[in-house]
Amino acid sequence: MKDSARAHGDLVGQEIAAKILDECVAYRTQQSGIGKLVSVSIGHNPSVAIYVRNQARAAALAGLPFDQQVWNGEIGQDEAKQLIQSMNDDPSVLGIILQRPVPEHLNIRSLQSAIHPLKDVEGMNPASIGNIVYSDVALAPCTAAASVELIKSTGLDLQGLEIVVIGHSEIVGKPAAMMLMAEGATVTVCHHMTRSVALHSRRADVVVVAVGIPHFLGPDMIKPGAVVIDIGINQIEGSDGTRRIVGDVDTDPVREIAGWITPVPGGVGPVTVAILMRNATVAHQRQIAAGWME
């Protein structure tokens, strides 16, 4: 695998995202009166604003209406759920995007549960995540789906592929593992109680890392030619005081061993946003099938 894989190098997220957005445009041109995506930010958070800008840009490229709402950071749980319910009932709303994080006094899981599964374009409603167990992955969590999309872009056959997922969060690690199993891969999930992560990762054809620890995965933790999907986004400060974004993978030395690798930034991130737009088109199809629209 090593010699042929090394020719591929970085998995450039923008290129894969562009293809997905082109698919969304093709779908959009065949539809009329499609509803809007509503982004809900609760309180003001500079990092959230960056995500919203990226989503708004992708929506424009996909031809999908995009509405940005910022709710008062002191809003109560019941009032927030009522507002979500009103959007569930609004036929002009195609999908709801609840930006994270939310203020500490709010229960994020309860708010995500309040979003109707057919308007859950992020794939974060428990019903959406539960559907993955039954191999219904069309409205899966966007980052998990992006990791699968990136692996598929290598051209490798996922059936029987040995994949190690490092990290078992409810929104990335667990759904990614279930999605990969739905593709026929043999999946091992490592977490903070795993005795030797490297023992598992060194045998894997693909390693997916989502632990939130800068440079966690080093070159001694993968086999030559492996695919490395880095989902981490960490901010570190250099010796000169400047701050930069790095992933969970020690990218430069790992790049010398890996067959394919996702850079940070520019790898998983753009694909995640494009998957959000694809989910919106799937939501629209399912809303039509459910008789919500004529």
DSSP lists the bridge partners of residue 235 as 245
| Strand stretches in the chain, DSSP E | 9-10, 36-42, 66-71, 93-98, 162-166, 186-190, 206-209, 227-230, 234-237, 243-246, 260-261
pLDDT band (50, 70, 90) for residue 92? very high
Give pLDDT tens digits for 227-241: 999 999 999 988 888
Q: Which pLDDT score is estimated for 22?
A: 97
> Per residue in 14-66, pLDDT tens?
999 999 999 999 999 999 889 999 999 999 988 899 999 999 999 999 999 99
3-class state of residue 14 by DSSP: helix
Tell me the pLDDT tens digit for each residue of 67-78: 999 999 999 999
The answer to pTM > 0.85 is yes
How do strand 243-246 and strand 234-237 relate by DSSP bridges?
A: antiparallel
pLDDT at residue 147 is higher than 90? yes
Class for the domain spanning 32-118? alpha beta
Under DSSP, the state recorded for 132 is G
**Residue 34 CB neighbour total at 10 angstroms:** 19
Same topology, domains 32-118 and 137-269? Answer is: yes
Q: Where are the domains of the chain?
A: 32-118, 137-269
In eight-state DSSP terms, residue 248 is S
| Domain 137-269 CATH superfamily | NAD(P)-binding Rossmann-like Domain (3.40.50.720)
Among 30-34, 81-85, 143-147, 163-167, name the one with the lowest average pLDDT.
30-34
* Alpha-carbon separation of residue 18 from 156, 251, 262 (angstroms): 21, 24, 16
